[in-house]
Amino acid sequence: MTNEFNPRDPVAKPKLSVVIPARNESTTIAYVIEEARSVHPESEVIVVVNGATDRTAEIAAQMGAKVIRYSAALGHDVGRSLGAKEARGDIILFLDGDIVISTDLLTPFVQAVENGADVALNKYQGRVNTKNVHNVVLSKRVLNALLSSSELGASSMTTIPHAISRKALRVIGCDNLAIPPKAQAIALTSGLHVAQACFVDVGKVNPKRRKSPDPLSQLIVGDHLEAIHWLFSQSDSRANRSDLGRQRERVRD
């Protein structure tokens, strides 16, 4: 993996790397960076600007963040993968360019990793006090149950903020961060310590999705299927779940 400490860099290796994918986020990016930088004294901020037509990159650079620039839009979560490749810290915190989260709420994620967790997730569960559940929330919950981690509820690496340790990054692999549920499946099956750190209500600030079928939720359900597919590739078609002694051979067609 290419994301080890870079000796050519004059700056000392930071403790925390904050990865922020951003598109046209010139109105919020400055605040996001400011809050993120205060989380830890030794930190670097990496902003992955992609498909931007406004001044997002310039603002980020002015704020002293490391900016990785792509002219084309990368699509969902690919920025995390590319940002993580550049990260040099022991802890990597993932944020979004359009959601400003205060330092107080970000600190618990970093602390959780400092205290031994490999992946620190947002406790956010989505809207659950309903009978008509959203596909995305359901997918998250199903995946955790399939990974024998029902206690995580619908907490997911799809949701920001979340922080991971350097070890987790090595085990999961930078590339897999682009498909967050797959990254989560890898983390949980390889015995990494996945914990819930803090509740950050990202549902309030996420833009309301009205279109049906909503392309983003379709994408996220697909991601979870990809994670399940990865699970199959690691085991069998039942993911090593018992049949409780079914005598299938009794009936043949």
Partner 1 sequence: MKIIPKKAAVKKKRPLRKPVAEKSVNSLKKTAWDKGAYAAGCRSVGWFWPKSIDGEPPENIQWERTINVRWAKWFGKHAFRRVPRLSYPLACGRFIRGFCETANIDISSDLLLPTTKSVCCVLTVKNEAATLQAQLNELRRLPFEEIIVVVNGSTDNSYEVARNHPVQATVVHFDSALGYDVGRAVGARMSHSDMILFLDGDMTIRVDLLLPFIYEIEKGADVVLNPISSLLPTFERRDSVSNIKQFLNICLGRRDLHADSLTAVPHALSRRAIEKLGTSVLAVPPVAQERAVRLGLSVVRSPVTVDVITRNRLRKQNVGLGNRVEHLILGDHLEALHELMGNFGPRLHFPDSMRQRHLIEEGADESV
| Contacting residues toward partner 1, per CB under 8 A | 57, 61, 66-78, 81-82, 86, 125, 128-131, 133, 135, 137-139, 141-142, 145-146, 150, 174-175, 178, 215, 218-219, 221-223, 225-226, 228-229, 231-232, 237-239, 241-248, 250-253
Minimum CB separation of residue 24 from partner 1 in Å reads: 15
Nearer to partner 1, 84 or 95 (CB): 84
When the beta carbons of 19 and 137 are compared against partner 1, the nearer one is: 137
Minimum CB distance to partner 1, residue 43 (Å):
18
| Least distance (Å) between residue 116 CB and partner 1 | 27
Q: Are 89 and 60 in contact (CB under 8 A)?
A: no
CA distances in angstroms from 186 to 52, 168, 195, listed in the order given: 32, 9, 15
CB of 239 to partner 1, least distance (A): 5
CB-wise, 12 or 251, nearer to partner 1? 251
Mark 150-187 as b/e (b = at least 16 C-beta within 10 Å): eebbbbbbbbbbbbbbbebbebbebebbbbbbbbbbbb
CB 253 to partner 1: min, Å: 4
239: nearest Cα among 127, 167, 145, 159: 145
Which lies closer to partner 1 via its Cβ, residue 70 or residue 111? 70
Taking the complex as a whole, the smallest distance from the CB of residue 104 to partner 1 amounts, in Å, to 26
Q: Cβ closer to partner 1: 74 or 87?
A: 74
> Please, which residue, 128 or 205, has the CB nearer to partner 1?
128
Q: Please report how close the Cβ of residue 72 comes to partner 1 at its closest, in angstroms.
A: 6
Question: With respect to partner 1, which residue has the nearer C-beta, 150 or 190?
Answer: 150
